[in-house]
């Protein structure tokens, strides 16, 4: 039986802030790509490898580093990870060629998978009756960091140059490491086996845990829709409204409404059935895509849709994680790895399908794609979901 624990608000909000600051490292490069291409004298196609390598590094860290949270103490992982992160950020700042920046970006992505340790850590350190609230607060910080990173990076890059952003990020990560070293409680893992067996257990959990598989499917389908939206929004803005990428980026700030809602949903998931939250969240997603379908010439409709799609997706994500963290208490990092890997595979699929839908059917095709994904998610839950959760 799980011991009762007390996770102070100070530590909880520190973890939330840390998740946001570290996750921001993944997205600083996106507004800087044009400046980087000019700096190195390369094409925009070539410089896009910087963003790609960062995402590939994140996927690598998610799959091969995060499971170590069940095997190695959190303080040891933080120490090694932050040292590599600081070196990677400095290497990016001092890069003299594109390939050096690409390699550095891969390492930045790999070490910036760290927030996926904070989420199960918050679940482990909190009481069961407050677990949803803890997950929601950490996720809110993570999402705000992601959404705000592009705005900060764009401003710093425009005013001081793209290298400055990497120096600023290095300084922030150094201060954050010192604070975490002093304030974050030490969590000792219970897994005593070999790393190879640790990785093999990922397959075991996927095969033997139906709630985990279903949560992963729900998450993947919802994130696929969200990825399709963000992939094609810039095309909609340019073709139908005459707006450039700068205006498109501001829609990310609107998404903060959904990020903040994650805290509220986390609290609700501690007091009401997960089944009700999942169904309600999926219905909100269906509503959001219905609004998008009739908003190809309406900015107000797009704004309303953005708020709804972020709210629905993040609410569903919180409910999914609360379910998987309530099981397998000594393997939360591994079950989170299984969930998040499938979650991001769904995002990758959504990006591909979204581009195809836009190319052949424009915004109506993208909206129908998102609507279909949400309906499939709802159907899967109604057929296979545990109505007692």
* Residue 78 host element (H or E): helix 74-93
Kindly report, residue by residue over 130-174, the tens digit of the pLDDT. 888 888 888 888 888 887 887 788 788 888 989 999 999 999 999
CA dist 86 and 141 (Å) reads 21
When mean pLDDT is compared over 25-29, 47-51, 259-263, 346-350, the highest value belongs to 25-29
Which stretches within 326-386 are classed as H helix?
A: 332-384
What's the DSSP call for residue 128? G
Name residues whose C-beta falls within 8 Å of residue 385's C-beta, 6 or more positions apart in sequence. 214, 275, 278
pLDDT at 2: 43
- Among 277, 341, 342, smallest CA distance to 58 is for 341
Counting residues of the chain whose pLDDT is more than 90, the rounded percentage is 48
When mean pLDDT is compared over 25-29, 30-34, 170-174, 240-244, the highest value belongs to 170-174
pLDDT at 261: 67
Percent helix, percent strand, percent coil in the chain, to nearest 5:
85, 0, 15
Q: Between 250 and 376, name the one with better pLDDT.
A: 376
Q: Where are the domains of the chain?
A: 8-189, 193-389
pLDDT at 4: 44
Kindly report, residue by residue over 67-107, the tens digit of the pLDDT. 998 899 989 999 999 999 999 999 999 999 999 999 999 99
Q: Between 371 and 35, name the one with better pLDDT.
A: 371
**CATH class entry, domain 193-389:** mainly alpha
Kindly report, residue by residue over 290-327, the tens digit of the pLDDT. 999 999 899 999 999 988 998 899 889 988 988 898 88
Write the CATH number of the domain with boundaries 8-189.
1.20.1250.20
Kindly report, residue by residue over 343-368, the tens digit of the pLDDT. 988 888 887 888 889 889 999 999 99
**How confident is the prediction for the chain on average, in pLDDT?**
87
Domains 8-189 and 193-389 share a fold: yes
In Å, what is the CA distance from 187 to each residue of 75, 123, 272, 312, 318? 8, 12, 29, 32, 23
What's the DSSP call for residue 330? G
């Amino acid at each position: 039986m799980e011991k009762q624990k007390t996770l102070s608000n100070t530590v909880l909000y520190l973890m939330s802030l840390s998740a946001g600051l570290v996750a921001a490292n993944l997205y600083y490069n996106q507004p800087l790509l044009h400046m980087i291409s000019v700096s190195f004298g390369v094409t925009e196609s070539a410089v896009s490898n910087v963003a790609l390598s960062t995402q590939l590094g994140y996927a690598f860290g998610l799959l091969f580093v995060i499971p170590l949270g069940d095997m190695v103490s959190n303080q040891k992982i933080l120490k090694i990870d932050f040292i590599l992160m600081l070196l990677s950020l400095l290497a990016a700042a001092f890069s003299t060629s594109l390939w050096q920046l690409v390699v550095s970006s891969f390492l930045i992505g790999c070490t910036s998978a760290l927030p996926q340790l904070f989420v199960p850590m918050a679940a482990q350190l909190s009481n069961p009756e407050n677990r949803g609230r803890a997950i929601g607060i950490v996720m809110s910080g993570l999402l705000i960091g992601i959404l705000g990173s592009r705005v900060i990076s764009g401003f710093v890059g425009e005013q001081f140059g793209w290298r400055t952003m990497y120096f600023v990020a290095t300084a922030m990560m150094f201060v954050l490491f010192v604070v975490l070293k002093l304030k974050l409680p030490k969590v000792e893992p219970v897994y005593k086996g070999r790393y190879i067996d640790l990785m093999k257990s990922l397959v075991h959990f996927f095969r033997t845990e139906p709630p985990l598989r279903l949560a992963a499917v729900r998450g993947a389908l919802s994130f696929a829709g969200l990825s399709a939206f963000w992939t094609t929004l810039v095309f909609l803005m340019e073709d139908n409204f005459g707006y450039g990428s700068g205006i498109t980026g501001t829609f990310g700030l609107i998404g903060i409404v959904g990020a903040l809602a994650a805290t509220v949903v986390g609290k609700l998931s501690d007091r009401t059935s997960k089944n009700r939250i999942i169904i309600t969240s999926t219905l909100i997603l269906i509503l959001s895509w219905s609004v998008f379908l009739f908003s190809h010439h309406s900015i107000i409709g797009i704004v309303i849709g953005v708020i709804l799609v972020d709210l629905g997706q993040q609410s569903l994500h919180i409910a999914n994680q609360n379910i998987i963290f309530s099981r397998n208490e000594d393997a939360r990092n591994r079950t989170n790895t299984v969930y998040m890997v499938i979650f991001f595979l769904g995002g990758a699929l959504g990006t591909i399908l979204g581009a195809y839908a836009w190319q052949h059917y424009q915004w109506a095709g993208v909206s129908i794609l998102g609507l279909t994904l949400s309906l499939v998610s709802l159907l899967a839950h109604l057929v296979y979901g545990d109505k007692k959760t």
